[in-house]
Amino acid sequence: MRGFPVHGSTAKPESGAACRWLLEAVPAPLLYLDAGGVLRAANRPAHALVPTLAAWLDRPLADALAGGETLAQHLREARGSSQALPLRLRWQVPEAGADLLAALSALPAEAPGGGGFLLLLKPHADLARRFVSLREKMDQLDAEIERRRRAEEALREREAWLRVVLASIADAVVTADTGGRVTWMNPAAEALTGWTLAEANGQPIQRVMDLVDENTGAAAPNPLLVAIGERRPTGMLGDTALQRRDGTTIAVEDTASPIFDEQARLVGGVIVFHDVTEKRRLAREMAERATHDALTGLYNRFELDSRLARALEDARRSGDVHALLYLDLDHFKLVNDTAGHAAGDLLLQQLVGLLESAVRSSDTIARLGGDEFGILLPGCGQEAALRVAQEILGRLAAFRFEHEGRRFRIGASIGIALVDGRWSDCGEVLQAADTACYAAKEAGGQQVRLWQEAGEAADARGRMVWAQRLTDALEEDRFELHLQRIERLRESPGPAHAEALLRMRDEAGRLVMPGDFLPAAERFRIAPAIDRHVLERVVAALRADPRAQVEVAVNLSGQSIGSRAFRDAALALLREGGSAIAGRLCVEVTETAVITHLMEAGRFAAQLRDLGVAVALDDFGAGSSSFGYLRQLPIDYLKIDGQFVEGLPSDRLGATAVGCFVEAARVVGARSIAERVETGEVLDALRLLGVDFVQGYHLHRPEPWEGVWTRLPRLPAARGIA
């Protein structure tokens, strides 16, 4: 490798040779840049890591990098910082090797060579091993300097460079002698432990690094003592934390290794560690979200399925009987529809304590979705399960939800299925409890029903009643359309946007909300007929008012997407309407529909877009593989699921998810829409996150079609037309 220049120095040639030897002795891949960013030197590990590095010596390093113009900015930042700055090196020439992470440090002006910069090319994963090698090289250097009768001058130079190199490393480094007493620590270690080198020197390592179990607070073994005692590299336990000198605690990870001299004698040890507090916090939060419902903190459907499967296995093996309660709130939709989703969410959160007070601590309560809950009661037979269910109903009957001066009465319908050896899988148990719950709701609600095989006939009669009600509503034209505006978050040309929302009038003329009848429509496979009716109504309204400058969104169910007859009829209707209709229509499909009918959904979306119809993917983020659908589903809008929106701006993970979804929409050429905007604070947060459109009760509560339609913008009338 080329020599290491010492600009502006009066050092003798021997001093420059010693500097070169010192740089070559460092086992970590290092580059030296002068004050102008010119690559002046690189050691052997650096040449081994970047095969074409020799071609760039004595040339500006920025010329070798893709985006190299930013290197000068990084150099200026490093000059003004006392810490090592992380950056990524991307080579212009592919033969140079893979992209590398590096730590950039500025050398003080008084350093040998007159200052400049050091680039450490690899992270610290092998730092402990390399530190041992560095110690061996330093010993060899001492011998060489002694032979040259320059021992004192070379020693000062070596120590100066050692401090510079180790101070440039972002991780904490501490060395100790064979008795476990601290002999040296770098600035990063001083910052993390709260001890200075002068204070820590000679102190037991377990005093300077007071390690505890993060969960119990009990003392944890120090890996450096283990490494010295067992004469082998080791590391901390997974939940280790460091109690700093000021009493605060941080989570840490480390590697420790013994140090041997040239005669293989143990002379001490080195430990390298860093702060992982934020990393562990995020890991715990993600693990919590994987098994818990984000809104209520209860277990989620996935965790209930897992525990139910174990209970079923226990029932088969031991003959024990357990119970599963399926609970569906009565009148919950009334709260959502009249007070908004935020009030509904608050109600669900208040019900958590009520449910927990009615069961044992060993029982499992899970939110299955919406206003449905599952409760697993291990070791409970029929009588005990009925008592628990009645206790829950009694507490709900006495409960009143208050919001903005209004009081709501909340009840529940509960179905019970006994978990015994008769079931083939946990899905059958859950379906049985659901069926019993449905029977309780059909009987008027605020009741308990125990699943029995003889009850299937009654359930079939209940299904026929709902099927007949929906069929009659279609034939008697008792479905109504309401509209909710979708607002832009920034000024831009284009039509107004609104979503068509379905309502039903029952036989007595009362308005029935979609949450009450759409599940029944899906259950009885009447959804495609209802969706076709809605699409025909919207197309007729657009045809009747060609000047309405508006794009209307229509929701389609998964059954409709999966029905070839529906798809063919919808495409024929839109072709007949022509571009004047298709260009003002947006079809929304949910993630649930995409999951179940991915190929059909992708083909149908492409056909709709060919006709000029916009396509929106609704409830994005609610599924487990959301981003995968974007590769196969051509869309114009991405509607972000409300669970990520409602906690803004305080929900940092929700904000991160929304920002990620917005960027994903832009990557695929779509625009983003955030649902469930209930407050001004949420609106402001979405604006900062770059969301394109917003929708929710804070902006507009749904109204009957006619009232909203007349207030939407219109194109100027053509000449000669009134």
Domains of the chain by residue range: 13-159, 171-275, 286-451, 484-709
pLDDT of 16 strictly over 50 = no
Instruction: Report the pLDDT value the prediction gives residue 722, as an integer from 0 to 100.
Output: 33
Arithmetic mean of pLDDT, 528-534: 92
Q: Which of 139-148, 371-380, 470-479, 585-594 has the highest mean pLDDT?
A: 371-380
Arithmetic mean of pLDDT, 544-548: 88
Instruction: Report the pLDDT value the prediction gives residue 156, as an integer from 0 to 100.
Output: 60
* Domain 286-451 architecture: 2-Layer Sandwich (3.30)
Backbone φ/ψ region at 432: left (φ over 0), alpha (ψ -120 to 50), beta: alpha
In the chain, what are the helix, strand and coil shares in percent, each to the nearest 5?
A: 45, 25, 30
Instruction: Report the pLDDT value the prediction gives residue 149, as an integer from 0 to 100.
Output: 58
Instruction: Report the pLDDT value the prediction gives residue 596, as an integer from 0 to 100.
Output: 59
At residue 127 the predicted structure's pLDDT band, cuts being 50, 70 and 90, is very low
> CB–CB of 171/131 below 8 Å?
no
The reply to whether CATH 3.90.550.10 applies to domain 484-709 is no
Whether the bond between 713 and the residue before it is cis, its omega within 30 degrees of 0, is no
Q: Which of 169-173, 310-314, 599-603 has the highest mean pLDDT?
A: 310-314
Instruction: Report the pLDDT value the prediction gives residue 14, as an integer from 0 to 100.
Output: 45
- Asked if 13-159 and 171-275 have one fold, the answer is yes
At residue 261 the predicted structure's pLDDT band, cuts being 50, 70 and 90, is confident
pLDDT of 482 strictly over 50 = yes
pLDDT of 24 strictly over 70 = yes
Element (H, E) at 630: helix 626-630
Instruction: Report the pLDDT value the prediction gives residue 509, as an integer from 0 to 100.
Output: 86
Kindly report which listed range (40-44, 129-133, 263-267, 712-716) carries the lowest average pLDDT score.
Answer: 129-133
Share of the chain above pLDDT 90, in %: 37
- Residue pLDDT, tens place only, 379-388: 999 999 999 9
C-alpha torsion angle, residues 130, 135, 139, 142 (rounded to 10): 100
Contacts of 520 by beta carbon, 8 Å cutoff, 6+ apart: 466, 467, 470, 526
Element (H, E) at 533: helix 527-544
Instruction: Report the pLDDT value the prediction gives residue 112, as an integer from 0 to 100.
Output: 62
Q: Decide: helix, strand or coil at residue 459.
A: helix
> CB–CB of 276/283 below 8 Å?
no
> CB–CB of 56/63 below 8 Å?
yes
Higher pLDDT, 97 or 407: 407
* Whole-angstrom Cα Rg for the chain: 35
What is the spatial distance between Cα 464 and Cα 160, in angstroms, rounded to a whole number?
88
Higher pLDDT, 14 or 50: 50
- Distance in angstroms between the alpha carbons of the first and the last residue of the chain: 86
Instruction: Report the pLDDT value the prediction gives residue 453, as an integer from 0 to 100.
Output: 64
* CATH annotation of 13-159: 3.30.450.20
Find how far residue 41's CA is from the centre of its chain: 43
Instruction: Report the pLDDT value the prediction gives residue 353, as an integer from 0 to 100.
Output: 92
At residue 163 the predicted structure's pLDDT band, cuts being 50, 70 and 90, is low
C-alpha torsion angle, residues 657, 663, 668, 669 (rounded to 10): 130
What is the spatial distance between Cα 412 and Cα 79, in angstroms, rounded to a whole number?
66
> CB–CB of 57/143 below 8 Å?
no
Q: Which of 4-13, 255-264, 691-700, 703-712 has the highest mean pLDDT?
A: 691-700
**C-alpha angle 375-377-379 in degrees, rounded to nearest 5:** 170
> CB–CB of 373/366 below 8 Å?
yes
Kindly state the tokens that stand for 314: 């226990």
Closest CA to 338 of 32, 718, 702, 597: 702
State pTM to two decimals. 0.44
Instruction: Report the pLDDT value the prediction gives residue 120, as an integer from 0 to 100.
Output: 87
* Domain 171-275 architecture: 2-Layer Sandwich (3.30)
Higher pLDDT, 521 or 413: 413
Q: Which of 52-56, 106-110, 302-306 has the highest mean pLDDT?
A: 302-306
